Amino acid sequence: MPTTKLQSRPRKISSGIHSSKLIHVYLPTVPRGLRKVIVKNELIQATWESETALSTFQPYNSDVVQDVVTRLIPYRSSVFSRRSRRKPGAWPRERPEDEYYNPFVLLLNKALEAARKELGCASGNYYDDLQFSVYDRQVEDTDDQAHPFEPGLVGCVRTVGPEEKLNWNEIMVPITVKPSWRELVEQALKYARSLFATSAREFALVISFNYKTTEVRFLFFHRSGLTSSPPVQLNTEKGWIRFIEGIVGLASVRDRSGAGMETSRDTSSYHLPWFGLCKIEELHYTMSEVTTAA
Give the dihedral sign, CA 276/281/286/289. negative
Residue of higher predicted confidence among 136 and 88: 136
Which residues have CB under 8 Å from 119's CB, separation 6+? 64, 125, 248, 251, 252
Give the dihedral of Cα atoms 276, 198, 166, 212; nearest 10 deg.
-120
SS3 251: helix
pLDDT value at 42 more than 60: yes
pTM of the model: 0.77
Q: How many residues are present in the chain?
A: 294
Closest CA to 198 of 264, 266, 133, 131: 266
pLDDT tens column, 263-290: 766 555 666 666 666 766 766 554 444 4
Instruction: Name which of 47-61, 190-204, 235-249, 275-289 the model is least confident about.
Output: 275-289
SS3 100: helix
How far is residue 114's CA from residue 5's CA, in Å, rounded to a whole number? Answer: 46
Question: At 172, which amino acid appears?
Answer: M
> What integer pLDDT is reported at residue 238 of this predicted model?
96
What would the mean pLDDT of 78-92 be, rounded to a whole number? 67
Other CB atoms within 10 Å distance of the CB of residue 69: 20
pLDDT value at 114 more than 80: yes
Tell me the CB-side half-sphere exposure of residue 187, using CA atoms within 13 A. Answer: 21
